[in-house]
Structure 1
């Protein structure tokens, strides 16, 4: 086996461990976003608090909100991947000269 494929398999196993470990310890339930947690704490501290700003648009469902977040993540990953690939390609071209 090549060194790079061993490295890839090791990284895949590490990624699986990172993903599965919190599910085992937390039980896979009640993962809430930071916004929801902050709202709960604010309500505990000051039950009469009224937000000074409302969202311009609220997604009609949680599924659509998750979809939009996933699209945002995919676009960000694509941009980062493009930049890293471009940098590596420029480095490789420079070393071939």
Structure 2
């Protein structure tokens, strides 16, 4: 099997994994861990006050999601680049 065929299969699997929950549960609320943690803390200790406040508050939830996705994409790019460099270096050493 060629590399582009493997990549296409992996891409299709990613799309299916992302789309199936949205298709099966169209009205479900997909909340993040931050909201669940806040609820748990409030339930355990109703008088809890955070230690500090955010320096910069995003304008909306969409902007916050965008920044989070951008951060994840940059991190994935860095990890992919480093793994690619490590793999390429080990291939080069085996040919010498």
Relative to 1, partners in 2 of residues 1:28 and 1:5: Cα closer, same or farther, differing over 3 Å?
Answer: farther
Q: Number of paired residues?
A: 96
Whether the 8 Å contact between 1:22 and 1:28 is mirrored in structure 2 is no
Q: For residue 52 of structure 1, report the CA deviation from its aligned partner.
A: 3.0
Q: For residue 63 of structure 1, report the CA deviation from its aligned partner.
A: 2.6
| Aligned counterpart, 1:66 | 65
How far, CA to CA, are the matches of 1:40 and 1:60 in structure 2?
22
Q: For residue 20 of structure 1, report the CA deviation from its aligned partner.
A: 1.3
Are 1:80 and 2:74 counterparts?
Answer: no
| Aligned counterpart, 1:39 | 38
Q: TM-score, normalised on structure 1?
A: 0.77
**1:1-97 pair list within 5 angstroms:** 2-27=1-26, 29-97=28-96
| Runs of at least 5 residues in structure 1 that lack an aligned partner in the other structure | none
How far, CA to CA, are the matches of 1:71 and 1:13 in structure 2?
22
SS at match of 2:59: coil
| Runs of at least 5 residues in structure 2 that lack an aligned partner in the other structure | none
Q: Which runs of 4+ in 1 moved over 4 A?
A: none
1:17-45 deviations in Å (ceiling 9; x for gaps): 21112212332642111111222233334
Q: TM-score, normalised on structure 2?
A: 0.77
